[in-house]
Chains A and B, each alone.
Chain A
Amino acid sequence: MSDTPILSKKDFASEQDARWCPGCGDDAILNAVEAVMPTLGIPKEKIVFVSGIGCSSRFPYYMASYGFHTIHGRAAAIATGLKISNPDLSVWMISGDGDALSIGGNHFIHAIRRNIDIKLLLFNNEIYGLTKSQYSPTSPSGQVTKSTPYGSLDRSFSAASLSIGAEATFFARAVDTEPKYLQSILQRAAAHQGTAIVEVLQNCVIFNDGAHKWTTDRASRSENQLRLEHGKPMIFGDTVKQGIRLNGITPEVVTLGENGITEGDILVHDEKASEPTLAYFLSRMRAPDFPTPLGVFRAVEAPTYDQQIHQQLEDIKVKKGDGQLRKLFFSGDTWEVKASAENQNEALSAGGNHD
């Protein structure tokens, strides 16, 4: 990439001013993404942001790369078509919990299933913001919103469980309040080949303020966050060191030093485990019984759908030769009608070469 001009954060900010509510977590995420882009060594014209509908989906308008603001729920399908058509592009999808997990749930799981090489940033604020406060599929049961004045009855989804259940090759979680950490996670996602889901716990200051407070609060975050590191034991807490231990097939929180528990008893994180079981355990850990796991849950290598499609095209071109129209037209049974008076027909290839 020697001929790629050195870009700065500024180069990625479009001339349009972001119009999210003051204090919205989306601004922080935009900032982090703008900061990460120049570090990737990808020319600006090869970067595309594709979004659905919702507050977060305004995102592409604020980036100075290519951008496509599409339809509610459908960004994953559009990004899939785009990436297949041109695998050279770095395709980033921006979506929210309503967009990706409710109306777009089908496209979300199928993008993951195929392992199409797109980076999917899921802004999870556990609410519908743009339509002014209705509960979303990640809102906890009982949530009071405009559409659920007596509390929602729906059980909520975990974006992580859903992604891991669909065998995401990459899943990570970050928070909007810790920009440096978010940037490091975005860089990990960018480096991953395949569908990379980054769930960002994002604060909707207007309609669901403090939804992630338990996890993000400065005072308590070291007790309430579990920072995942590959190959390291799952230990958290500043004053009291706690850790995650497997009890049978159930994870539990234990305190180091208590009841003879040592570091050796603590589960070691393995983001590269080929089975998604461990990542799934992590996806089930929720407040208040467990700390919120942050970081890379899973990052395994697998062929990407877009690579496979193009590989197949190349293989068949090698096998059959480059397609020419004349060959195409004359495939199958053909015959000639001669200009002669008898109009004698002649079967040319009564054994088609293309069945």
Chain B
Amino acid sequence: MTTKDRIELDRVTIRFAGDSGDGMQLTGSQFTNTSAIVGNDLTTLPDFPAEIRSPVGILPGVSTGVSSFQVQIGEIDVYTPGDEPDVLVAMNPAALKVNLEVMPKGATLILDLSSFTIRNLDKAGYKSNPLTDGSLDAYHLIQAEITKLTLNALEQLDLEAPDKTRCKNFFALGMMYWMYNRPLELSTGWIERKFAHTPLLAEANKLALSAGYHYAQTADLMPSTFEVRPAQLEPGFYRSVSGNQALALGLITAAKQADLPLFLGTYPITPASDILHELSKYKEYGVISFQAEDEIAAVCAALGASYGGSLAITSTSGPGMSLKSEALSLAIKTELPLILIDVQRAGPSTGIPTKTEQSDLLQALYGRHGESPICVLACSRPTDCFDVALEAAQIAVQFMTPVIVLSDGYIANGTGSWKIPDPDQLKPIIVRRPTDPEAFKPYARDEATLGRSWAIPGMAGFEHRIGGLESQNETGNISYDPLNHELMSQLRADKIQRIAEFVPEQAVLGPESGKLLVISWGGTYGSVYSAVTQAQGEGLSVAHAHLRHLNPLPRNLGELITRYQQVLVPELNFGQLAKVLNIHYGTQVKTLNKLQGQPFKIREIRDGIDAALASLPLEALDV
């Protein structure tokens, strides 16, 4: 055994890349989970093609075939998956070629030498071998015959060669575990559970993992190993959750807190399907997950369940939300609680379904017929999804309204360390049921919230009819009276505005007034937060407001904006929140937009901040 230096790091960013069938998502998430459990804070960026098993080694861009998983682990405030990886694990030439452009000079490249055949180089479009032509001189290269060594390690096992080859990702993972001083036990435990019914495959993967670990230890490949210190997290119990998982947990919790059955009506769509997969597991919690025949049936079934007294959810992505919009308007008109989750992806149309974007905001706010205001909330990071789900349920039930929750592909598939709440400390969600049949009127309202009361079929004495036709105020009888229609439209609008009085004022990170306020929403939280704190650290006059409430907007936001000379709104769209702010507050905000299916890098936001500050008129010199 060789002794190596052990270098302490406060953070590191690693990217695993290979073909979509190479198991890179798995390798990355195994590394992530183990890192979480040894105490690192982290943020992940899974990035995979829409194809399930695209042809091996074909260049993307061509580059659709390469799948990658990036994770930043660290000691403090890891809010993004890292701008530039410090280490790339590339399982073949195509994975190298596609990912090299994001690798800074001096970074470490760990390559599977076995895959650098003439054929693979050719398919990846390499004219000469990058391993020998000097083009990688600026990097620290670690070349290992990962595939061959995996096959050697599994020689004794009675398995076909392709099955053995498939274990190479665990060999690579083993190497990384040694390099970053991580224990193997968590992954071996996972392998045992995963392959409980195929012990031979379990054996093979475990062997590959430990072979990789020991190979890295003995072969003199790495000059040093690294120690990433544990994060200073708040004391408590933790687990890692993806955004979609956290939404599912939040919804189950909300239903318990409201003492309502939980009903999910949905239709498979990337990247929202995991919400269905998650909720389908929890039948012992009374969760009903209904995979409908289409998106419209999904929302309609949810609305039917809501009418029947369930906490009803429908989950989808942008194209699905378009299909659901007619039913949303019925939910608005009949004032029934409903949560629509839109896990946004790059559009329009099928777009790039596995890549992230924030381009459904205007659809969420305005994409319906008639005057149909709706409450819209957005999640900021995977762990935030839990809290947003709870709040959405609270609002839906209290105000008797549908609520749209915007997530995105980046949040949905990313993971974070979630501090497990104490179930006993969670607030109950109060459902208002009418009690006096004599006095009951379907559209009579609570004075504070303007929400109507929720009488459900089965309650004797409260039989009533609701529907899409305009209702007479209070009685709910069909009414074509023009003034009544205007009154009801106004009441529906006022009710949504009322929500702002019940949610906290918008908080600001940084100076209470100054030169620049950066306003963000949704999944850009981490990059914006990091860029703003970085700028603040350099003494710049920048503050950050991250919005969860997109409709109604926070009641103090208009006033807040006036305290800064300039507002910058970075978004993964062409300026949708910016438009909304300009309309609401008569501002002329600066925009920073990106539409590449990828989250913002901290650097990009920081450049935007610097540019915005530079564009301000020079202040009069103090004399």
Contacts and interface: CB of A to CB of B under 8 A. Distances in A.
A330 to B, nearest CB: 7
Interface in A335-354: 335-339, 343, 345, 347-348, 350-352, 354
Nearest to B188: A350
Main secondary structure of the interface of B (DSSP, over half): mixed
A249 interface: no
Contacts of B426: 325
B461 A45 contact: yes
Nearest to B304: A81
B458 interface: yes
Contacts of A110: 292-293, 297
Contact of A313 (B36, B286, B292): B286
Given A45-B457, A81-B290, A328-B249, A323 B308 contact: no
Contact of B305 (A43, A84, A313, A333): A84
Interface in B221-276: 230-240, 249, 252-253, 256, 261, 263, 265
Interface residues of A, number: 71
A74 interface: yes
Contacts of A335: 36-37, 39, 237-239
A272 interface: no
A20 interface: no
B467 A78 contact: no
Contacts of B303: 70, 78, 81
A83 B265 CA distance: 13
B88 interface: no
Contacts of B281: 354
A77 interface: yes
B69 interface: no
Given A77-B301, A337-B233, A354-B281, A89 B467 contact: no
Given A70-B467, A81-B265, A107-B293, A343 B307 contact: no
A64 B463 contact: yes
B469 A69 contact: yes
Nearest to B421: A329
A334 B312 CA distance: 29
A contacts with B: majority SS: mixed
A81 B309 contact: no
Interface string B193-204: 110000000000
A213 to B, nearest CB: 32
- For the side of the interface on B, what is the size category? 35 or more
A222 interface: no
Contacts of A70: 300, 303, 330, 467-468
A61 B296 contact: no
Contact of A316 (B186, B252, B283, B301): B283
Contacts of B304: 50, 68, 77-85
B302 A69 contact: no
A88 interface: yes
Given A84-B263, A85-B310, A313 B288 contact: yes
B326 interface: yes
B239 A330 contact: yes
B284 interface: yes
A345 B37 contact: yes
A77 B297 contact: yes
A246 interface: no
Contacts of B423: 324-326, 329
Given A85-B308, A313-B286, A336-B237, A68 B297 contact: no
B8 to A, nearest CB: 15
Contacts of B231: 343
B256 A325 contact: yes
A140 to B, nearest CB: 29
Contact of B297 (A80, A313, A337): A80
A333 B33 CA distance: 8
B348 interface: no
B142 interface: no
B239 A334 contact: yes
Contacts of B249: 328-329
B458 A81 contact: no
Contacts of B256: 325
Contacts of A46: 457-458
B513 interface: no
A77 B299 CA distance: 9
B440 interface: no
Contacts of A63: 465
B193 to A, nearest CB: 6
B479 to A, nearest CB: 11
Given A82-B457, A336-B238, A330 B305 contact: no
A229 B231 CA distance: 77
A146 interface: no
A344 B261 CA distance: 40
Contact of B458 (A45, A68, A321, A333): A45
Contact of B468 (A71, A86, A312, A313): A71
A320 B284 contact: yes
A106 interface: yes
Given A66-B465, A81-B312, A106 B230 contact: no
Contacts of A14: 465
Nearest to B336: A68
Contact of B186 (A67, A88, A337, A350): A350
A44 B463 contact: yes
Nearest to A110: B293
B468 A321 contact: no
Interface string B305-321: 11111101000000000
Given A45-B458, A82-B457, A86-B309, A321 B284 contact: yes
Nearest to A349: B239
B301 A81 contact: yes
B206 to A, nearest CB: 15
Contact of B253 (A66, A320, A325, A332): A325
A289 interface: no
Contacts of A309: 288, 290
A77 B294 CA distance: 10
A86 B304 CA distance: 10
A10 interface: no
B96 to A, nearest CB: 32
B252 A343 contact: no
B623 to A, nearest CB: 51
Contacts of A238: none
A307 interface: no
A204 to B, nearest CB: 21
Nearest to B302: A81
B463 A350 contact: no
Given A71-B468, A329-B420, A351-B189, A78 B307 contact: yes
B327, B421, B467, most chain A CB atoms within 10 A? B467
B458 A89 contact: yes
26 contacts: A43-B460, A66-B457, A66-B464, A66-B465, A68-B334, A68-B467, A69-B469, A70-B300, A71-B330, A74-B300, A77-B293, A78-B301, A81-B303, A81-B305, A85-B308, A86-B308, A89-B458, A309-B290, A322-B284, A323-B286, A328-B253, A329-B420, A336-B238, A343-B230, A347-B186, A350-B189
Given A81-B300, A320-B284, A337-B39, 11 more contacts: A68-B304, A77-B293, A81-B290, A85-B263, A85-B304, A85-B312, A309-B290, A330-B420, A335-B36, A343-B230, A350-B189
- Which 8 pairs, one residue from A and one from B, show the smallest C-beta to C-beta distance? A69-B467, A81-B304, A81-B301, A323-B285, A77-B300, A67-B465, A85-B308, A78-B304
